[in-house]
Structure 1
Amino acid sequence: MDKDMYDFMALDRPSTPVIDRGIALHKMIRLITMGLGGEGYLNFMGNEFGHPEWIDFPRGSQHLPDGRVIPGNNFSYDKCRRRFDLGDADYLRYSGMQEFDQAMQHVEEAYGFMTSEHQYISRKDEGDRIVVFERGNLVFVFNFHWNNSYTDYRVGCLKPGKYKVALDSDALLFGGHGRVSHTAEFFTFEGWYDERPRSFLVYAPCRTAVVYALVEDEIEDEVEE
């Protein structure tokens, strides 16, 4: 995003293709790391809202034994800080990125997918730029394509029933475009697909990540009946 971060992160002015791309991919990369990185998620300080600058502690020049000199920064404090105020500023796009980070943590708290024994990657489609995988009772759908959005895109799953949107990187709250309906319901149908016994259809806009959660309470009601 380079210099565009300093001119186009305010919500009172139009975004740019560079800003849209950077914010979208930053959210997707964080979520796919959290989803497939194992049982823990390590985040760099300030990364939750996309800190725009590097961190550089005050230091002098370093003289190496071979005569080379690594220049210092004249003991400057200019970059020795994290701008946490950016993430809290509701008039900047950084706030939406921070909201997304908090939402990821809430999904983990609600569903405990990172410690689930069930994990399966069902699709890695280089042509469509789609990645689909399961963690616990969640189905993650990533569309990394820069232009193509897919209607009625079929994704495989293990468990039958109704799924709902648990997290949507394209939500307006997160600085997205609001292309995914959060009230829609997704019902599975039988039949093997991507080596999964069932599947359902979704809308996958370009450069988005959507997490679908199995509605367990209705399954429990059916079992009791």
Structure 2
Amino acid sequence: MNKKHYLTLALALAMAGTAHADPTPDWGDKISEKEFLEAAKRSFYLNDPKEFDRLRDETLEVCNATKNRPSAEQTKAILEREQKTIVYPKDGKLYGDWKKGKIVVEDAHGGRIGYPGFADADNPKHPNGANCYACHAIDPNFPQAGNMGPPLTNYGKLRPKTDAMVKYTYDKVYNSKATNPCSLMPRYGGPKHLITPEQVADVVAFLLDPDSPVNNPPVTTK
């Protein structure tokens, strides 16, 4: 038997061995959601047992149960509840410094896994960033961008710089679920800010300001 025949026989035996294999492995008895949550709770180190309460999210429960299609009544309740969580800067200015916003948008630092209560386990004093490029294309000069969210290049050129648009953009960045109930975008504000209200205002300026590189993409020539 030559080499070719050996290979053919080996392939046939391998296929025969898998032909009768059960494609659905037996994972044992299924556990309930309550049992899963209790097991997950036991696997985390907590400074305070109440810290686990942050994983209970009424809005996400509705979105999961309805497969991201809440009823009109549920949508109204979500929007009203989430809107109440939004905090605005103490000075009342929702439009900050676009140059500072550029730093926040680009910075991927913050919100990392570590002991509860710390913004960053390595350096709790380091300010958080938004890591927006993980999901969006924004400044075309930035070397990388994600495509999970819509592109935001020319955001300010495509929208009027009105008070209503500034507020909408602020609300969207601070808590996306206040404008879209089942949005996949993280809540950047909230009880424990990923970024502060002032940083959100700076991000708003970065997106809307006519001098921002977001609204001045480079002209490419062939």
Report the TM-score, using the length of structure 2 for normalisation: 0.24
Higher alpha-carbon Rg: 2
Larger RCO (CA under 8 A, 6+ residues apart)? 2
